[in-house]
């Protein structure tokens, strides 16, 4: 069953390649969605796909790329809106 997850990642997550690494990982899982910087310094990832694959993305976001320092991760699951074609960064 297709689901959607919104992940908000706090810490040193901007300027360290977090969004690009999230895209590579999401692409490897065949997820659709977007990763974007927020004005407050957080990164937001919205992804849709198989629930177990979304869980892998959530686990990955808790660590991120090696240059990042993740302080906290907030997640919210909902039904998929099927609104993404592939995964992109903003």
- Residues 33-83 have pLDDT tens digits of 999 999 999 999 999 999 999 999 999 999 999 999 999 999 999 999 988
71: in domain:
yes
Contact 8, 57 (CB under 8 A): no
pTM over 0.85: yes
User: What confidence score (pLDDT) does residue 1 get?
Assistant: 76
Structure tokens at 74: 């907030």
- What is the residue range of 15's domain? 2-81
Question: Residue 41 falls within a domain, yes or no?
Answer: yes
Which H/E stretch holds residue 14?
Answer: none
Count of the separate structural domains present in the chain: 1
DSSP secondary structure code for residue 29 in this structure = T
Q: Rounded CA gap, 26 and 57, in Å?
A: 7
Query: Is 10 a domain residue?
Result: yes
The answer to whether the CB of 81 falls within 8 A of the CB of 4 is yes
Q: Which of 12, 36, 37, 88 is catalytic?
A: 37
Active site residue 37: yes
19 classed as catalytic: yes
- Mean pLDDT of the region 4-30: 97
> Is 36 among the domain residues?
yes
């Amino acid at each position: 069953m297709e689901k959607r997850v919104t992940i908000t990642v706090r810490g040193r997550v901007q300027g360290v390649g977090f969004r690009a690494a999230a895209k590579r990982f999401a692409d490897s899982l065949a997820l659709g969605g977007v990763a974007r910087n927020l004005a407050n310094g957080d990164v937001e990832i919205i992804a849709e796909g198989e629930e177990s694959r979304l869980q892998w993305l959530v686990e990955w976001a808790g660590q991120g790329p090696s240059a990042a320092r993740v302080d906290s991760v907030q997640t919210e699951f909902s039904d998929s809106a099927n609104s993404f074609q592939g995964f992109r960064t903003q």
